[in-house]
Amino acid sequence: MTELLRGFKWMEPAVDLGRLGLFALFVVLGLMAARRSRGPDSRPAADRFIVYVLAVSCLVGATQVESWPFTNWALVNHGSPRRIVSLELEGLDAGGRGWVVDLRVLQPLAPEEFATWLKANLPSLTPDDRGRLGRFLLERAEDGRRRLLAGRPPAPNQALLGPLDAPYHFHDAKTWTSAAQVPATPFVGLRAWFWDWDVEERLADPTRVERRLLFEVP
């Protein structure tokens, strides 16, 4: 359906006007529902608004033509590459043992956003740049370790709302939930890794994963 619509370039102004109309009606119905929220006729107004939102959401999903604020979630819908690259940070204790770092210590930066930036910019980083980046990540990891051992959430953004805070886009299974997951002594070093695998190959053999060291500090 989307490809068919793209073939009719002359329809683009009409599509844009349609988007504007859908948004204007969304605002009008929302304001009407809000204004009548405490009156005797509040239910019909709210029902009309809900039905409208559901109908337009289904329309956008069927046509795959976005009409803000209604989205087809193209980032997720079409974001299924054959190869996956994920980031892992490994904190090192004084004895040289490695500990997986909870990537929530990067907040407010989302881990996948940082990994995307790292993939694009790592080749251009000088050894000094990588050292500064590594030391910054080491400080974040150590701050998170201390918070966890003190009985507080290791994620900075959870300090105020705790379990009631809004989750980030993706959940990572490698999260700290107990003090046993971190050393009792400070992190003295850090390694950054990319895990790279083919989805079909790893499905057949879970060991088919390439682990690439990006940089290490100190």
Sheet holding 98-100, edge to edge: 98-100, 83-92, 189-198, 210-217
Each residue's pLDDT, cut to its tens digit, for the chain (218 residues) gives: 444 444 445 456 777 788 888 888 888 988 888 887 776 666 888 888 899 889 988 888 778 777 778 877 665 555 556 788 889 999 999 999 999 999 989 988 888 889 989 988 999 999 999 999 999 999 999 999 999 999 988 888 777 777 777 777 666 566 898 999 999 999 999 999 999 989 888 889 989 999 999 999 98
Alpha-carbon gap, residue 138 to 46, rounded angstroms: 51
Q: Which two tokens stand for residue 162?
A: 């705790």
Q: How many CA atoms lie within 13 A of 88 on its CB side?
A: 16
d(CA 123, CA 194): 14
Query: Is there a contact between 195 and 211 (Cβ–Cβ < 8 Å)?
Result: yes
Residue type at 99 in one-letter notation? W
